[in-house]
Amino acid sequence: MRLHLAALVVADYDRAIRFFVDALGFDLVEDTPSLTNDGRPKRWVVVRPPGGETGILLAQADGEHQRAVVGDQCAGRVAFFLQVDDFDSAYDRMVAAGVEFVTAPRTESYGRVAVFLDIEGNKWDLLGPA
């Protein structure tokens, strides 16, 4: 058993794709036209970190309720954890790409960590070895 995908509600597919692919270095695994249950167009968009097994389904907000949670899917808590082998290189590349970090890098018992915001404002931990 394994976790295949997790959904992330975003305001716009293309803006989210640019962030995950260009700023974070994820692979665009799939971008396929699809339909909602009631026949309206949507897309099946999956991004995944290189070498990772679990992908993120970028789900464009549909309706007022979904638009209300864009950027706050976990009520302000860190919701996602991106593990890298070379923390300093990943951090420097992300800063150069315009990723907003809300904490400075620090060393904890479990490794190096810094909190950053995704394109919508959700909090992520960038994690690397100690």
Round the average pLDDT of the chain to a whole number and report it.
96
Mean pLDDT of 5-11: 97
Q: How many helices (H) and strands (E) does the chain have?
A: 3, 9
CA–CA dist 66, 62 (Å, integer): 6
* pLDDT band at 47; cut points 50, 70, 90: very high
- Is residue 29 packed enough to be buried (19+ CB in 10 Å), middle (13-18) or exposed (0-12)? middle
**How high is the pLDDT of residue 39?**
87
Place of tokens 């620090």: 106
In the structure encoding, which two tokens stand for residue 43, read together?
A: 């897309």
- 100 has which bridge partners? 117
Using alpha carbons, select from 90, 93, 98, 96 the residue that is nearest to residue 125: 90
Q: How many CB atoms lie within 10 A of CB 128?
A: 20
Spans of all domains in the chain: 5-128
pLDDT tens for each residue of 60-112:
999 999 999 999 989 999 999 999 999 999 999 999 999 999 999 999 999 99
> Could you tell me the pTM of the whole model?
0.92
CATH number for domain 5-128, candidates 2.40.110.10, 3.90.1300.10, 3.10.180.10, 3.40.50.720: 3.10.180.10
Using alpha carbons, select from 128, 56, 60, 53 the residue that is nearest to residue 94: 128
**How high is the pLDDT of residue 36?**
83
Is the Cα dihedral 8, 11, 16, 19 positive or negative? negative
